[in-house]
Amino acid sequence: MTAELVRGTGALAVPGVLSAEQCAATAQFVLRQQRSDGSIPWYDGSHLDPWDHIEAAMGLTVAGHWSAAWRALEWSAATQRKDGSWPMVLRDGEVEDAGADTNQCAYFAVGLWHYYLVTGRTDGLARLWPTVEAAINFVIRAQHPGGELGWAVGEGGGVADFALLTGSASALQSIECACHIAATLGHDRPRWRWAGNRLAAALRERPDSFADRSRFSMDWYYPVLAGVVRGAAARARLDDGWATYVSAGHGAQCVHDQPWVTSAESAELVAALDAMGDADRALTVLADLQGLRDEETGGYWTGRNLPDMVIWPREQTSWTAAAVLLAVDAVTQTTGGAALWRDAGWPGDAGATVSERLVRDEAVG
Type and span of the H or E element at 260:
strand 260-262
Q: What percent of the chain has pLDDT over 70?
A: 93
Residue 171: what pLDDT? 98
Whether the per-residue pLDDT at 358 is higher than 90: the answer is no
Phi–psi pair at 207, nearest 5 degrees: -60, -20
Please indicate, yes or no, if residue 14 is contained in any of the structural domains: no
Each residue of 168-211: pLDDT tens digit?
Answer: 999 999 999 999 999 999 999 999 999 999 999 999 999 999 99
Each residue of 84-133: pLDDT tens digit?
Answer: 999 999 999 999 999 999 999 999 999 999 999 999 999 999 999 999 99
Same domain flag for 53 and 110? yes
Alpha helices of 226-262 — where are they, by DSSP H?
Answer: 231-245
How far is residue 119 CA from its own chain's centroid? 19
**Counting every residue, how long is the chain?**
365
What is the rounded distance in angstroms from the CA atom of residue 230 to the CA atom of residue 121? 30
DSSP 8-state symbol, 152: E
Same domain flag for 282 and 223? yes
For strands 246-247 and 251-252, give the pairing. Answer: antiparallel
For strands 89-91 and 94-97, give the pairing. Answer: antiparallel
Please indicate, yes or no, if residue 323 is contained in any of the structural domains: yes
Q: What percent of the chain has pLDDT over 90?
A: 92
Same domain flag for 342 and 270? no
- Answer whether 247's CB lies under 8 Å from 306's CB: yes
Same domain flag for 275 and 359? no
Please indicate, yes or no, if residue 20 is contained in any of the structural domains: no
Please indicate, yes or no, if residue 19 is contained in any of the structural domains: no
Same domain flag for 227 and 167? no
Please indicate, yes or no, if residue 16 is contained in any of the structural domains: no
Q: What are the Cα distances from residue 311, in Å, to 250, 284, 306, 332?
A: 12, 21, 9, 29
Q: Kindly state the average pLDDT of the residues 144-156.
A: 97
- Answer whether 136's CB lies under 8 Å from 171's CB: no
- Coil, helix or strand for 151? coil
Same domain flag for 189 and 328? no
Residue 9: what pLDDT? 52
Between 75 and 352, name the one with better pLDDT: 75
Q: Kindly state the average pLDDT of the residues 212-236.
A: 97
The range of the structural domain enclosing residue 116 comes to 30-212+337-365
- Answer whether 320's CB lies under 8 Å from 300's CB: yes
Same domain flag for 241 and 140? no
Please indicate, yes or no, if residue 22 is contained in any of the structural domains: no
- Answer whether 268's CB lies under 8 Å from 218's CB: yes
Please indicate, yes or no, if residue 166 is contained in any of the structural domains: yes
What torsion do the CA atoms of 310, 313, 316, 317 make, to the nearest 10 degrees? Answer: -150
- Coil, helix or strand for 65? coil
Same domain flag for 271 and 234? yes
Between 359 and 37, name the one with better pLDDT: 37
Whether the per-residue pLDDT at 355 is higher than 50: the answer is no
Whether the per-residue pLDDT at 35 is higher than 70: the answer is yes
Q: What are the Cα distances from residue 200, in Å, to 72, 158, 361?
A: 30, 23, 14
Same domain flag for 319 and 343? no
- The Cα diameter of the chain in Å comes to 59
- Coil, helix or strand for 316? strand
What is the rounded distance in angstroms from the CA atom of residue 200 to the CA atom of residue 264? 25
Whether the per-residue pLDDT at 34 is higher than 80: the answer is yes
Please indicate, yes or no, if residue 5 is contained in any of the structural domains: no
Say which CATH number the domain at 184 has.
Answer: 1.50.10.10
Output the 3-class SS for 167-217.
HHHHHHHHHHHHHHHHHHHCCCCHHHHHHHHHHHHHHHHCHHHCCCCCCEC
DSSP 8-state symbol, 88: S
**What is the rounded radius of gyration, in angstroms, for the C-alpha atoms of the chain?**
19
Average pLDDT, the chain: 93
Whether the per-residue pLDDT at 352 is higher than 60: the answer is no
Q: What are the Cα distances from residue 337, in Å, to 80, 115, 342?
A: 25, 7, 10
Residue 365: what pLDDT? 40
Same domain flag for 208 and 234? no
Q: Kindly state the average pLDDT of the residues 259-276.
A: 98
Domain count, the chain: 2
Type and span of the H or E element at 89:
strand 89-91
What torsion do the CA atoms of 153, 103, 25, 327 make, to the nearest 10 degrees? Answer: -160
Which residues does 271 contact at the CB level (< 8 Å), separation at least 6? Answer: 225, 282, 326, 327, 330, 341
Same domain flag for 141 and 45? yes
Q: Kindly state the average pLDDT of the residues 47-53.
A: 98
Residue 289: what pLDDT? 98
Same domain flag for 177 and 222? no
